[in-house]
Amino acid sequence: MPLKLKPLKYLLSVLTLLAGTQAATAQGLFGFPLGPQQETLDPMEQLGRELFNDTNLSTPPGQGCVTCHAPEVGFVSPNFFVNQFFGPHFGAIPHRFGPRKPPSAAYAGDSPDLRFVADPAFAVNWEGGVFWDGRAAGQLPLFPESDDSPEFDPLAEQALFPFLNPVEQNVANEKIVVRKVAFSRYRRLFLQVWGRGSLDFQDDEVVARAYDRIVTSIAAFERSSEVNPYSSKFDAWLAGEAELTEQEKLGLWLFENPFDGQSLLTPNEDEGRTAFPQGNQGKGRCGVCHSELPGPNDEPPLFTDFAYHNLGLPKNPDNPFYFMPRRFNPDGRDFIDRGLAPTLETIGQPDNWTPSGAITSWQEEIDNAEGRHKTPTLRNVNKRPFPGFVKAYMHHGGLKSMKEVVHFYNTRDVPEEAWGEPEVDFGNITGGIVGDLGLTDEEEDAIVAFMATLSDGYQSPPSGPQLPQLPQLPTPPSPPSLPTLPSPPSLPTILPFP
């Protein structure tokens, strides 16, 4: 497919975008305030909130975590133009792009360390980690060899990278980040949380620890009730405090995992069972990977298996990463997003790794990871400030609507649909449960409607006693009609000049 934007045109649009975003950062795009500080946050979470929202922590200043992970859209990019025309979001230097779209920074705190699952019954071998490719694997120690005991946390580990990433916040080194925090208006809060001397940027050892404190605080915020409120209509329905519409229930019915013998609609929702044909339960197969069931200890569903799959998505031809200089993208337009594979190359063969199924060597394990990306949560996947606001979906942001995503799952393998060559094909593309689902148009819409119930901030309609009918107001008396004015005397006819 030809690239839709020529470099110059693309540069111009970037500049236009930038003009829009500078104003957007403090306020949230479209002037939505970032929301009042929640009193329920403890000091550590509040500190994380300050750091997350601080757009001074970039070079040049202007970009913070919140720029690419904004609450009003479910902690992804709030930039309409980026979502519509690119997918990936630009960095603090606005003509620099990474290869991927920001996934949600919410509901990410339960992902375990990246690990090999040695269970032959398990169709996927790797789970956990943070980032689309799991490279924040939970293997980097925070607070190593200090009085604080070393900690491993993939979510905090993730936050080590954006500040220093040249295609993101672009700060030259940790010391500059710490220095900026030391001169911030939340400096006192930092010292209150972490103690005196915890921000001393003159001392290299303290700088390294201060940087660990920064990312630990951010992870605390990302795990807080403000970022993970579980306040969607779906959650209210699970708690018996809201009703799903017939269409939303049908969507859930089609969405569910048909192989686990469970349904959220039975037995407590008998009407769901009878209203929709039994054979259609799980027809969309979505729940196989985006698990809709509560956890073993009744944790609310997160709609992800934390595992990695190659869905056979075609490339996003509008991905600006193809234009990036060799320093960032040596492959130019031939760039292939290998997903999990390079992560496995980096972490190396774990002790518990064993050959399984068709895979007989570690190299084959890596090959099998090519093009696999982590299943994202679907919470807030439809959260948008107004109905026409475009969000970008999948790791490269190439799909632009929920309907398009469902249609892809439904028809990827239907030749007439011509979805295009998969970006990566190592014989590991998920088949069977994805690709030709035979969903009707109405069924696709129902799945979309169900996913729309996963947006936080649901306000249940006011219940309680019916308000008394207001008495009819008497119709005001009609004003008295004005007396008709006498018509003016007719003017004498002017005689035409002779």
When the beta carbons of 105 and 236 are compared against ligand HEC, the nearer one is 105
When the beta carbons of 232 and 470 are compared against ligand HEC, the nearer one is 232
For residues 283 and 439, the answer to whether their CB atoms sit within 8 Å is yes
Whole-number minimum distance, CB 257 to ligand HEC, in Å? 9
What is the C-alpha to C-alpha distance for residues 410 and 311, in angstroms, rounded to an integer?
Answer: 12
For residues 142 and 150, the answer to whether their CB atoms sit within 8 Å is yes
Q: Which residues bind ligand HEC (CB under 6 A)?
A: 52, 63, 65, 67-69, 88-89, 91, 98, 100-103, 105, 108, 130-133, 158-159, 162-163, 168-169, 218, 222, 284-286, 288-290, 309, 311, 313, 373, 375-376, 378, 381, 393-395, 402, 405-406, 409, 430, 433-434, 447
Whole-number minimum distance, CB 466 to ligand HEC, in Å? 38
Residue of 104, 97, 96 whose CA lies nearest to 78: 104
For residues 186 and 169, the answer to whether their CB atoms sit within 8 Å is no
When the beta carbons of 105 and 142 are compared against ligand HEC, the nearer one is 105
When the beta carbons of 76 and 366 are compared against ligand HEC, the nearer one is 76
When the beta carbons of 91 and 492 are compared against ligand HEC, the nearer one is 91
Q: How many CA atoms lie within 13 A of 400 on its CB side?
A: 15
Whole-number minimum distance, CB 87 to ligand HEC, in Å? 9
Whole-number minimum distance, CB 209 to ligand HEC, in Å? 17
When the beta carbons of 94 and 272 are compared against ligand HEC, the nearer one is 94
When the beta carbons of 60 and 197 are compared against ligand HEC, the nearer one is 60
Residue of 167, 196, 42 whose CA lies nearest to 92: 167
473: left (phi over 0), alpha (psi -120 to 50) or beta: beta
Whole-number minimum distance, CB 470 to ligand HEC, in Å? 45
What is the C-alpha to C-alpha distance for residues 162 and 151, in angstroms, rounded to an integer?
Answer: 20
Q: How far is CA 97 from the centre of its chain?
A: 18
Whole-number minimum distance, CB 344 to ligand HEC, in Å? 15
When the beta carbons of 196 and 327 are compared against ligand HEC, the nearer one is 327
Whole-number minimum distance, CB 96 to ligand HEC, in Å? 9
What is the C-alpha to C-alpha distance for residues 438 and 406, in angstroms, rounded to an integer?
Answer: 11
For strand 373-374 and strand 115-116, is the pairing parallel, antiparallel, or unpaired?
unpaired
Whole-number minimum distance, CB 169 to ligand HEC, in Å? 5
Alpha helices in 304-360 (DSSP H): 340-347
For residues 84 and 400, the answer to whether their CB atoms sit within 8 Å is yes
Whole-number minimum distance, CB 382 to ligand HEC, in Å? 8
Whole-number minimum distance, CB 282 to ligand HEC, in Å? 9
State the DSSP H helix or E strand holding residue 308, giving kind and residue range, or none if neither. strand 308-309
What is the C-alpha to C-alpha distance for residues 132 and 143, in angstroms, rounded to an integer?
Answer: 25
Whole-number minimum distance, CB 404 to ligand HEC, in Å? 9
When the beta carbons of 209 and 290 are compared against ligand HEC, the nearer one is 290
DSSP 219-250: HHHHTSTTT----SHHHHHHTTSS---HHHHH
When the beta carbons of 304 and 366 are compared against ligand HEC, the nearer one is 304
Question: What's the CA angle centered on 57, arms 55 and 61, to 5 degrees?
Answer: 65
For strand 308-309 and strand 126-127, is the pairing parallel, antiparallel, or unpaired?
unpaired
What is the C-alpha to C-alpha distance for residues 328 and 331, in angstroms, rounded to an integer?
Answer: 9
For strand 126-127 and strand 115-116, is the pairing parallel, antiparallel, or unpaired?
antiparallel
When the beta carbons of 52 and 201 are compared against ligand HEC, the nearer one is 52
Q: Which residues of 47-71 are buried (b: 16+ CB within 10 A; e: fewer)?
A: bbbbbbbbbebbbebbbbbbbbbbb
